[in-house]
Structure formats: C-alpha cells, structure tokens
Chains A and B, each alone.
Chain A
Amino acid sequence: RKEVEQDPGPFNVPEGATVAFNCTYSNSASQSFFWYRQDCRKEPKLLMSVYSSGNEDGRFTAQLNRASQYISLLIRDSKLSDSATYLCVVSPAGTSYDKVIFGPGTSLSVIP
C-alpha cells in the first residue's frame, strides 16, 4: 500500500458544482495534514491545514478521520479559478519535515 493515496482523477466539473477529494494514508503515527494546490507548471502552495475537528475556509472544507486514516477536501460552488491539481500532504511529526509525504495529486478542471 502506498503511503499516501488520492483519487486518481481527473475531475471535470461544471462551474457551481460541489466536488470532493479523498486521501488515505498508511502511517497511523501521522500527526499533521495539509492540502496543497498546484497550478499547471507552478510550485505547490499551501491551501489549508487539516485539523481533527474539521475546518472551513470560505468554499473549502477539510476533514480528518484518524480512525479510518482518511482526509477529505470539499469545494463548494466551484469556480474556473479552482482548476488545479490538489495534493494531500501527510507528516508523521510536528517539528521535522524530513518525512513529509506528498500524495500524487488529483487534477480538477472546472468547465464553464
């Protein structure tokens, strides 16, 4: 089993749609979780951290289920500008980043 797995994608959705991305991780000792966004031919940028209680930032909602080792990202009312690849990131430690694992990413295209 890969350390971090994501929906294979690509996701093609119309503007205004709600889309959900799923991510699973294999290391139960993982402590920190993030979603990154990567535009085509650009560097990844932090979208949001994922907290145990779940967290929301505007149209974006991230959730964590430690028991199932599962993370999700929900995007409501999709915009054309949301088109990008979304990377799930898992870290087993709070202070050392040498074991951070990036998922392969899920591509999203929002269609007019």
Chain B
Amino acid sequence: SQTIHQWPATLVQPVGSPLSLECTVEGTSNPNLYWYRQAAGRGLQLLFYSVGIGQISSEVPQNLSASRPQDRQFILSSKKLLLSDSGFYLCAWGDGYTFGSGTRLTVV
C-alpha cells in the first residue's frame, strides 16, 4: 500500500534561518506530489506541485522553493525564513489527495 512520510512534525526556527522539509512516498512510482500551506484559521494554499523528477510548478510567488531530486522525494526549502512563513505545511500525493502528517513551522 502507498504511504507518505513527512518530517519533522514540528519546527521552531528564527527569522532569517534556512528551512528544509522533506516528504517521501512509498508504494507507488511517478506520483504527482504537492506542497500545501495552511495558515492559522485559513484554508489550504497550494505552494508547489511536481509531476516528475526535476519538474516543479509554483502556484504563488513566495520566499520558498521546492525540489524533486528523486521520483518519490519532494523537498520544500527556504534560504531565509520570514515571520509570515509560519504555518502548517502539508505534503500530498495525487491519488485523490492523501496527505502526510504535516509539519507545524513557527518562525520566531
């Protein structure tokens, strides 16, 4: 069966520090992968999606970037975090939208 792993579960980072969140999928090949952000009290916002290795589409301009170095690995990064980057980050894969358990990021 397919499973999706996301880590870390929580993260507290100072403003200006770098960020790297990782997501991996097992049990499937060539999945569509997605990064979402959910700010407090708000809906899910699609940040990036990828249909294959090295293929990244960005939905909104922002302080973040994404990479897909391997078929089942999707990474969300930032060189310098802003306070506004705080939120709940969710990785999903395109089987009907199965989500990872999420990373709660607080930028202080």
Q: Which A residues form the contact surface with B (CB < 8 A)?
A: 34, 36, 41-46, 87, 89, 96-98, 100, 102-105
Q: Say yes or no: B90 contacts A43, CB within 8 Å.
A: yes
Say whether A41 contacts B99, CB under 8 Å.
no
Interface residue? B61 (CB, 8 A) = no
Q: Tell me if A104 and B43 are in contact (CB < 8 A).
A: yes
14 A-B contacts (beta carbon < 8 Å): A34-B96, A34-B97, A36-B97, A43-B101, A43-B102, A44-B90, A44-B97, A44-B99, A46-B96, A46-B98, A96-B32, A97-B32, A102-B44, A104-B43
Q: Is B34 an interface residue (CB 8 A)?
A: yes
Question: Is the pair A97, B94 in contact by a Cβ cutoff of 8 Å?
Answer: yes
User: How distant is the Cα of A80 from the Cα of B80 in the complex, in angstroms?
Assistant: 42
Complex-state Cα separation, A43 to B46, whole angstroms: 14
Q: Shortest Cβ distance from A78 into chain B, in angstroms?
A: 23
